[in-house]
């Protein structure tokens, strides 16, 4: 939309949680942040990673929703659950390979990032990308990314034998080229690590 | 040059087919009422041509519907 | 209804409830087109029904029913009766000292009861201003398309007898 795409680079994340606070300010879901914020290995390091919804090309959450509450719009954004339809069954929470949707018990509603659709559909940047000081979350044109980053954007993920292509790009090492990332490599090391989440 | 996103390209064809179906339907409504009136007035010879033409109109509507269905599944695959 | 649907690899529920909003526009258009085609089929059935009725038509036999005495009405007078069955209202009008006409009272438009308008010397339907000629029941103006069915009258021995219906052969 408007030629800009969303790029996530977890290695740039400094853990300031500005994205969380900025996301929370949106009046449509005030107080509930849609950023998935991970402390990667909290006992061992201060590394953090912030993620937004990956807005998959064939969204698993939408496919498994029994109430037809999740829709993918024409510009590729996968919306959060439609308020009149969501029944709070958590099917999408369980199904998403990236673990993005969250069930908010107070509203019995699933809530997830919708890339600030009210802003991006008008050409503005999402709140998180606007406030991120290190631009770990960036919403720019592909030309800007190519000109200013060493990493390469990748939007193909393999989960075992399942291939998922997304609208949001992950920045991958430059020498790796345009390859698919095995997300399991990024999420944990060792069997007994627990990944804690900020909210 | 067609600049519509891929999903919207079939919509123009489908809209055209739907308008055609509506026009045929209006003709068929008129034909039914005219046949009925002439039958009730005792002119029973109008019933056969009326039924045949109504059949032709229905066949045209069915063909247009299958066209709509074909465009729909083509766009869905693509 | 499997034959009515183009063969598709996706199950029907997936076609009817698409995840992509772009697909929803197709669903509503497809459903509307399907509805229109079924309406067209319904009208074809109507035409076929008329065809069947006309093919299997047998002219009915009408009873002879006395209606009124010859001098019961004044000139311009009106009598209501039922013929051939109790559900078929009819209207008898004495148009002259020797002439009588009788018609079905049901207007051929939407079956309102017609009445004799003496001043204009015609049969009028109050519902939608449909006027019929008193001479032969043909339509003078208004929405009716067909003439009023006429009751055949016999004058036998000072009695007016209804002997049949003309122009209502259905």
Domain ranges of chain A: 5-187
Q: Which residue, A44, A49, A42, A36, is CA-closest to A9?
A: A49
Q: What whole-number percentage of chain A has pLDDT above 90?
A: 65
**Hey, which residues 94-153 in chain A have their CB within 8 Å of chain C?**
none
Please list every residue in chain C whose beta carbon sits closer than 8 Å to the beta carbon of residue A70: 19
Q: pLDDT tens for residues B40-66?
A: 888 888 889 999 999 999 999 999 999
**Domain A5-187 class?**
alpha beta
pLDDT mean over C143-161: 89
State the Cα–Cα distance between residues A24 and A35, nearest whole angstrom. Answer: 9
* Residue with token string 């006309």: C54
Please list every residue in chain C whose beta carbon sits closer than 8 Å to the beta carbon of residue A68: 17, 19
Quote the DSSP letter at residue C63: P
The reply to whether residue B44 touches residue C10, judged by beta carbons under 8 angstroms, is no
Instruction: Find the residue in A nearest to B5 (Cα).
Output: A74
> Best mutation site among C44, C108, C169 for testing chain B: the one with the most B CBs within 10 Å?
C44
- Closest CA of chain A from C26, distance in Å: 13
Q: pLDDT tens for residues A65-119?
A: 999 999 999 889 999 999 999 999 999 999 998 899 999 999 999 999 999 999 9
Token pair, residue C111, equals: 């079956």
Instruction: Find the residue in B nearest to C41 (Cα).
Output: B58
- pLDDT for the residue numbered A178: 46
Please list every residue in chain B whose beta carbon sits closer than 8 Å to the beta carbon of residue A74: 5, 7-8
- Closest CA of chain A from C17, distance in Å: 7
Token pair, residue A172, equals: 């991958």
Torsion of CA C102, C67, C93, C75, to 10 degrees: 150
Three-state DSSP class for residue B4: coil
Name residues whose C-beta falls within 8 Å of residue A69's C-beta, 6 or more positions apart in sequence.
Answer: A81, A82, A85, A86, A87, A110
The reply to whether residue C29 touches residue B61, judged by beta carbons under 8 angstroms, is no
Peptide bond preceding C157 in cis form (omega within 30 of 0): no
Alpha-carbon separation of residue C11 from A40, A80, C1 (angstroms):
41, 25, 14
State the Cα–Cα distance between residues C144 and C127, nearest whole angstrom. Answer: 11
* H-type alpha helices, A18-140: 18-24, 60-64, 91-95, 117-120, 127-131
Q: Which residue, A74, A183, A167, is CA-closest to A126?
A: A167
Intra-chain end-to-end CA distance of chain C, in Å:
36
Q: pLDDT tens for residues A136-174?
A: 999 999 999 999 998 889 888 877 777 889 999 999 887
Q: Which residue, C37, C51, C48, C5, is CA-closest to B59?
A: C37
pLDDT at C25 over 70: yes
* Residue with token string 């290190």: A134
- pLDDT for the residue numbered A134: 96
Quote the DSSP letter at residue A64: H
Residue A163, beta-bridge partner list:
A158
* Residue with token string 């698919």: A180
pTM to 2 decimals? 0.64
Asked if residues A141 and A7 have their Cβ atoms less than 8 Å apart, the reply is no
Helix/strand/coil (H/E/C) assignment for every residue in A129-154 = HHHCCCCCEEEECHHHHHHHCCCEEE
Instruction: Find the residue in B nearest to A73 (Cα).
Output: B7
State the Cα–Cα distance between residues A64 and C19, nearest whole angstrom. Answer: 10
Please list every residue in chain A whose beta carbon sits closer than 8 Å to the beta carbon of residue B7: 74
Quote the DSSP letter at residue A176: G
Q: Lowest mean pLDDT: which of A20-29, A91-100, B1-10, C86-95?
A: B1-10
Q: What whole-number percentage of chain C has pLDDT above 90?
A: 44
> Best mutation site among C20, C23, C25 for testing chain A: the one with the most A CBs within 10 Å?
C20
Q: Tell me which of C76 and A130 has the higher pLDDT.
A: A130
Asked if residues C26 and B75 have their Cβ atoms less than 8 Å apart, the reply is yes
Asked if residues A167 and A55 have their Cβ atoms less than 8 Å apart, the reply is yes
Please list every residue in chain A whose beta carbon sits closer than 8 Å to the beta carbon of residue C17: 68
**Hey, which residues 19-78 in chain C have their CB within 8 Å of chain A?**
19-22
CB-closest option in B24, B35, B64 to C50? B35
- pLDDT for the residue numbered B50: 92
**Hey, which residues 99-118 in chain C have their CB within 8 Å of chain A?**
none
Please list every residue in chain A whose beta carbon sits closer than 8 Å to the beta carbon of residue C22: 74
- pLDDT for the residue numbered C27: 78
Domain ranges of chain B: 11-77
Please list every residue in chain B whose beta carbon sits closer than 8 Å to the beta carbon of residue C169: 42, 44
């Amino acid at each position: 939309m408007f030629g800009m795409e969303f790029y996530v680079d977890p290695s740039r994340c400094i853990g300031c949680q500005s994205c969380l606070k900025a996301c929370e300010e949106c009046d449509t879901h005030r107080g509930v942040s849609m950023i998935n914020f991970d402390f990667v290995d909290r006992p061992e390091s201060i590394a953090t990673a912030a993620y937004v919804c990956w807005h998959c090309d064939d969204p698993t959450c939408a496919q498994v929703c029994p109430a037809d509450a999740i829709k993918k719009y024409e510009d590729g954004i996968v919306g959060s659950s439609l308020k009149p339809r969501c029944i709070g069954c958590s099917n999408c929470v369980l199904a998403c390979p990236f673990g993005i949707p969250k069930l908010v018990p107070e509203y019995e509603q699933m809530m997830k990032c919708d890339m600030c659709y009210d802003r991006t559909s008008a050409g503005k940047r999402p709140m998180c990308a606007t406030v991120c000081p290190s631009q770990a979350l960036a919403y720019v044109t592909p030309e800007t990314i190519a000109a200013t980053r060493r990493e390469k954007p990748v939007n193909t993920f393999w989960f075992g034998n399942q291939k998922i292509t997304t609208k949001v790009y992950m920045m991958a090492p430059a020498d790796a080229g345009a390859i698919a990332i095995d997300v399991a490599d990024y999420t944990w090391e060792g069997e007994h690590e627990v990944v804690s989440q900020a909210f | 040059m067609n600049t519509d996103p891929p999903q919207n390209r079939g919509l123009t064809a489908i809209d055209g087919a739907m308008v055609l179906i509506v026009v045929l339907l209006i003709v068929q409504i008129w034909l039914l009422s005219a046949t009925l009136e002439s039958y009730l007035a005792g002119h029973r010879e109008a019933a056969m041509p009326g039924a045949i033409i109504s059949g032709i109109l229905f066949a045209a509507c069915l063909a247009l519907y299958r066209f709509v269905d074909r465009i729909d599944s083509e766009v869905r695959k693509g | 209804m499997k034959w009515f649907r183009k063969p598709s690899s996706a199950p029907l529920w997936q076609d009817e409830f698409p995840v992509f909003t772009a697909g929803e526009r197709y669903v509503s258009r497809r459903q509307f087109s399907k509805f229109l085609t079924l309406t067209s089929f319904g009208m074809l059935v109507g035409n076929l029904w008329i065809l069947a009725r006309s093919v299997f038509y047998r002219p009915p036999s009408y009873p002879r029913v006395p209606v009124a005495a010859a001098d019961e009405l004044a000139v311009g007078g009106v009598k209501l009766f039922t013929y051939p069955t109790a559900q078929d209202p009819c209207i008898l009008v004495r148009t002259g000292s020797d002439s009588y006409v009788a018609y079905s009272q049901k207007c051929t438009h939407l079956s309102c009861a017609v009445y004799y308008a003496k001043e204009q010397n015609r049969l009028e339907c109050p519902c939608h201003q449909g006027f019929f000629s008193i001479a032969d029941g043909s339509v003078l103006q208004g929405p009716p398309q067909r003439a009023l069915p006429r009751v055949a009258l016999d004058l036998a021995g000072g009695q007016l007898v209804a002997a049949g219906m003309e122009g209502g052969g259905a």
